Amino acid sequence: MKHICIITLLTLIANPALACMDDHAHPNSAGVAINSVRLVSAMDTTRPTAMFFTLKNTNDTDRVLTAVTTPACGRTELHDHIKDGDVLRMRQVPNVTLKPSETVSFAPLSLHVMCFEPKLPMTVGSNVPVTLTFTNADDTETQMIKLSAGIVSIKDAAGSPAKSSSPIPAGHDHHH
């Protein structure tokens, strides 16, 4: 028994990278690392708002994001921006494909989740549940990943991956 333990320990020492990859290569059942999930606080229920995040496909095959839903929004759509002459216009896309090892950022003026009929109140610094649905390329496997989105103000919408896992600080009121 002692002998086996020593061998195991030596194996770990010899392959620290392997041990590390085992811990982190599959952050959820979809094999897609999801970071910086944030929903821009809505001011009223009639004006849509947007959700952003960063996705990294850790699989060696394609993964396809097909839907993002949250009870904070009456209805959601996946949107992209396309250049129409000099103007950037939004358009709905049916899904977003992540190539193996590809990182895709949903961000202002780029891909985003459009949140129609936002539910109020949306307090900056609070969290709402969100579900991301992924499939494989031939749509034979579906994974629904549940996590939470932080509510951010419009000025913090661009976000940064470094801030992702820490709580979003509330803005300071100015004082006289």
Which of these ranges, 22-30, 55-63, 86-94, 124-132, lies near Cu ion under the rule CB under 5 A? Answer: 86-94
Q: Write down the least CB distance from residue 18 to Cu ion, Å.
A: 42
Give the angle 62-65-66 at the CA atoms, nearest 5°: 125
User: Which residue is listed with tokens 């109140």?
Assistant: 121
- CA distance linking residue 106 with residue 55, whole number of Å: 8
CB-closest chain residue to Cu ion = 79
Assess contact for 39 and 151: CB atoms under 8 A.
yes
- Cβ nearer to Cu ion, comparing 4 with 109: 109
Check binding of 79 to Cu ion (CB under 5 A): yes
Residue (81 or 119) nearer to Cu ion, CB:
81
Residue from 26, 28, 33, 90 touching Cu ion (CB under 5 A): that is: 90
Nearest to 152 by CA among 41, 36, 34, 53: 41
Q: Which residues bind Cu ion (CB under 5 A)?
A: 79, 90, 114
